């Protein structure tokens, strides 16, 4: 006699289901959305918290359990299945792998193996592979039911699992799920006797967070080909590839960097503008396929963008790529960078202090050998105080807090360990360790380096680091040039890995007046007008260039944002 298995197909929210465990999925580096976001809200943001502290990594096949006894859920626990990175998952699912090696099958087996291991036999799950994998509802349902059925017949020797529920909020997908069920029933007819039951889950009105309007553009490089994937809240999958010449790309990037590293004059501003648009436009066309360009043009007003890339692609000046149809540089958009697999998608943060103030520590010219930056601490503080009223941003100067005796790095660590500062603004020398990037950091003086990984040990790392940092070495050898090119991206990665949510860095040395004006404008928009960080930065770029009509000063182009562009401080009032 074949073993019976009841499959409930339920219309409704998975947060309203009564089951011992509910199952959701997570892509590495992608903020919770859809069912995962609803469940995360119901358990007080636990999924986001575990992701940010790196307990929940989201690797393909990972099985992570979050207790939910004190939450708004009926379930006793939430199981988060890791699907790895979105682009690899989508590509492998769409390649229609063999039955034995199918990706959905692997995930299904891992799910049943994990549930049996913790003695859970009653569970409800979302449809896997439908949204993120780009499968139709009938395809996703067939593969999932077949995978779970196969896993139960092979792994559940004691016959503990007799039923499970597939929950779908979108009523329009239910017919497709039923079709997938019928197909799976035929496929498993020699092993299991499947039976289905349709039902509607009673709904309770709950306040659910809205997902951020973010579009992730993922890039991977394989030889001389770039593979693009787009992930958004929209039910569509965009995947394209582009063949490119490394020599041509490097040449154009070199031209753009030379623009940034040489300050022009008002006399050659028009010529510079033409050259930078030509180089940026050519680079944009050579890198981005037409389909991805059209996607950016269609959603650039409504959405923020995160370019999620391999480390081998961080050297590309994405902010200087020029879209001729829109007539703007990508740096004018609300744009952030992300290294693939980084989990950096903080939506907002309330001030640490009870009085609602944002506290900032300014560390400028700690080595004492940057004459042009000598007055930056006091000048920046005055500018901030003059432009940001109502004491919403309180500024401390490191020079006024240092005892002048101990190593500065020790003093700064002690100060940061108190967890007082949401923002740390740094201007000075930087040190990059290309062999052990996490040991990179700020050069404060002889034998005195504040390394990025030390931020990881803080109970409350700064939410945001704004660094006008330049390489302390000034050599012209090939190795020195390589280090100067890699420094800004290596530092950003090191601080993000250490727990900083938002990192603003520079691709080259920025003039002091420009640096002060840019930073003040960003803080004013972020704190006074409560704009998100992406629009604060793009707005500062616009003001710095008077709407991108002046190109004599390259400072506007040198700033990069790592982290979520839609981040903002949750200020009272």
Question: What DSSP string runs through 192-216?
Answer: EEEEEEEEE--------PPPP-EEE
Question: Which residue in 340, 322, 341 sits closest to 330, CA to CA?
Answer: 322
> What is the reported pLDDT for 109?
92
pLDDT at 177: 94
Please state the pTM of the whole predicted model: 0.72
More confident residue, 387 or 158: 158
Please, are residues 429 and 393 in contact by the beta-carbon 8 Å criterion? no
Distances from the Cα of 237 to the Cαs of 87, 131, 216, 295, in angstroms? Answer: 10, 8, 11, 11
Number of residues that make up the chain: 573
Tell me the three-class secondary structure of 21-47, residue by residue: EEEEEECCCCCCCHHHHHHHHHCCCHH
**Highest mean pLDDT out of 198-207, 283-292, 445-454:** 283-292
499 and 511 Cβ atoms separated by less than 8 Å: no
Q: What is the mean pLDDT of residues 272-279?
A: 85
CA atoms of 559 and 540, how far apart (whole Å): 10
C-beta separation of 39 from 24 below 8 A:
yes
Q: Tell me what pLDDT residue 132 has.
A: 62
pLDDT at 233: 61
Arithmetic mean of pLDDT, 227-254: 80
Q: Quick one: average pLDDT of 307-318? A: 85
Distance CA 412, CA 534 (A): 28
Question: Which CA distances in Å does 510 have to 407, 505, 546?
Answer: 27, 10, 18
pLDDT for res 151: 93
Report the range out of 326-330, 380-384, 555-559 with the highest average pLDDT.
326-330
Write down the pLDDT at residue 376: 65
Q: Scanning the structure block, which residue is given the tokens 């980084």?
A: 342
* Strands of 280-370, DSSP E: 304-309, 322-323, 328-329, 335-339, 348-349, 358-364
List phi, psi (to 5°) of 301. Answer: -85, -40
> How sure is the predictor about 481, in pLDDT bands with cuts at 50, 70 and 90?
very low
Q: 3-state secondary structure string, 388-440? A: CCCCCEEEEEHHHCCCCCCCHHHHHHHHHHCCCCCEEEEEEEEECCCCCHHHC
Tell me how far the alpha carbon of residue 21 is from its chain's centroid. 28
Give CA 353 to chain center in angstroms: 26
pLDDT of residue 141: 93
Maximum mean pLDDT: which of 291-295, 351-355, 374-378, 407-411: 291-295
pLDDT above 90 covers a percentage of the chain that reads: 22
Structure tokens at 304: 């923020």
What is the DSSP secondary structure assignment for residue 325, as one 8-state letter?
Answer: T
CA distances from 367 to 295, 378, 427, 510 (A): 46, 16, 10, 18
Average pLDDT over residues 154-182: 92
Collect all residues with Cβ–Cβ distance below 8 Å to 210 and sequence separation of at least 6. Answer: none
**Residue that has been written with the tokens 């309770």 in this structure:** 204
Instruction: Specify the DSSP element, H or E, that contains 491.
Output: helix 478-497
| pLDDT at position 404 over 80 | no
Each residue's pLDDT tens digit, 7-34? 999 999 999 988 899 999 998 878 787 8
Read off the DSSP letter of residue 330.
G
Q: In this structure, how many other beta carbons lie within 10 angstroms of the beta carbon of residue 4?
A: 12
Q: Which three-class secondary structure string do you get for 508-558?
A: CCCCHHHHHHHHHHHHHHHHHCCCCHHHHHHHHHHHHCCCCCCCCCHHHHC
> Across the chain, what does the average pLDDT equal?
80
User: Any idea what DSSP says for residue 303?
Assistant: -
Confidence of residue 474 (pLDDT cuts 50, 70, 90): very low
Using N-to-C axis directions, what is the helix angle for 174-187 and 137-155, rounded to 10°?
A: 40
Cα separations (Å) of 27 from 86, 167, 219, 340, 396? 6, 19, 15, 11, 39
Percent of the chain exceeding pLDDT 70 equals 80
Region 344-370: what's the mean pLDDT? 69
Res. 208: pLDDT tops 60: no
Residue range 278-312, pLDDT digits in tens: 999 999 999 999 989 998 999 888 888 989 888 78
154: part of which helix (H) or strand (E)? Answer: helix 137-155
**Cα(179)–Cα(138) distance, integer angstroms:** 6
**Averaging pLDDT over each range in 230-239, 288-297, 535-544, 546-555, which range is the top one?**
288-297
On the question of pLDDT at 477 being above 50, the answer is no
CB 200 within 8 Å of CB 16: no
Residues 183 and 187: their CA atoms lie apart, in Å, by 6
Asked if residue 26 lies in contact with residue 51, where contact means CB atoms within 8 angstroms, the answer is: yes
What CA–CA distance (Å, rounded) separates 357 from 360?
Answer: 10
Contacts of 81 (CB under 8 A, 6+ apart): 23, 24, 25, 26, 61, 62, 63, 64, 107, 110, 111, 128
């Amino acid at each position: 006699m074949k073993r019976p298995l009841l499959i409930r197909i339920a219309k409704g929210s998975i947060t309203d289901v009564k089951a011992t465990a509910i199952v959701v999925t997570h892509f590495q580096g992608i903020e919770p959305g859809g069912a995962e976001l609803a469940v995360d809200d119901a358990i007080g943001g636990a999924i986001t918290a575990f992701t940010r502290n790196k307990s929940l990594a989201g690797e393909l096949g990972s099985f992570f359990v979050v207790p939910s006894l004190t939450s708004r859920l009926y379930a006793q626990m939430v199981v988060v299945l890791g699907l790895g990175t979105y682009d690899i998952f989508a590509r492998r699912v769409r390649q229609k792998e063999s039955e034995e090696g199918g990706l959905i099958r692997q995930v299904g087996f891992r799910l049943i193996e994990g549930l049996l291991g913790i003695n859970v036999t009653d569970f409800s799950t979302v449809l896997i592979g439908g949204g993120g994998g780009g499968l139709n509802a009938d395809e996703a349902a067939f593969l999932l039911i077949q995978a779970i059925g196969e896993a139960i017949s092979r792994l559940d020797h004691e016959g503990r699992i007799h039923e499970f529920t597939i929950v779908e909020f979108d009523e329009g997908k239910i017919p497709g799920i039923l079709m997938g069920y019928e197909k799976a029933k035929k496929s498993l007819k020699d092993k299991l006797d499947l039976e289905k039951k349709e039902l509607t889950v009673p709904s309770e009105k709950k306040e659910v967070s809205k997902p951020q309007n973010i579009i992730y553009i993922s890039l991977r490089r394989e030889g001389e080909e770039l593979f693009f994937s787009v992930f958004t809240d929209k039910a569509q999958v965009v995947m394209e590839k582009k063949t490119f010449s490394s020599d041509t790309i490097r040449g154009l990037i070199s031209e753009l960097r030379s623009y940034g590293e040489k300050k022009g004059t008002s006399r050659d501003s028009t010529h510079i503008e033409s050259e930078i648009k030509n180089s940026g436009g050519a680079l944009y066309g050579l890198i981005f396929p037409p389909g991805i360009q059209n996607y950016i043009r269609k959603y650039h007003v409504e959405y923020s963008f995160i370019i999620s890339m391999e480390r081998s692609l961080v050297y590309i000046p994405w902010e200087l790529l020029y879209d001729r149809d829109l007539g703007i540089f990508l740096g004018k958009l609300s744009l952030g960078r992300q290294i693939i697999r980084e989990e950096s998608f903080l939506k907002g943060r309330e001030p640490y202090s009870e009085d609602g103030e944002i506290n900032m520590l300014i560390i400028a010219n700690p080595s004492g050998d940057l004459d042009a930056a000598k007055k930056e601490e006091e000048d920046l503080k005055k500018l901030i105080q003059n432009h940001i009223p109502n004491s919403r941003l309180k500024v401390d100067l490191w020079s006024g807090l240092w005892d002048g005796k101990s190593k500065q790095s020790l003093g700064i660590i002690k100060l940061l360990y108190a967890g007082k500062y949401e923002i740390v603004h740094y201007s000075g020398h930087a040190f990059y360790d290309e062999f052990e990037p996490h040991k990179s950091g700020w050069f404060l003086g002889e034998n005195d380096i504040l390394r990025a990984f030390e931020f990881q040990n803080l109970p409350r790392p700064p939410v945001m680091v704004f660094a006008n940092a330049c390489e302390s070495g000034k050599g012209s050898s090939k190795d020195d040039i390589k280090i100067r090119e890699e420094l800004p991206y290596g530092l950003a990665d090191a601080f993000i890995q250490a727990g900083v949510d938002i990192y603003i860095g520079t691709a080259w040395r920025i003039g002091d007046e420009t640096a002060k004006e840019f930073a003040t404008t960003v803080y004013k928009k972020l704190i006074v007008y409560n704009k998100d960080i992406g629009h604060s930065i793009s707005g500062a770029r616009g003001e710095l260039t008077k709407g991108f009509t002046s190109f004599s000063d390259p400072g506007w182009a040198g700033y990069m944002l790592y982290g979520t562009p839609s981040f903002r401080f949750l200020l009272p009032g």
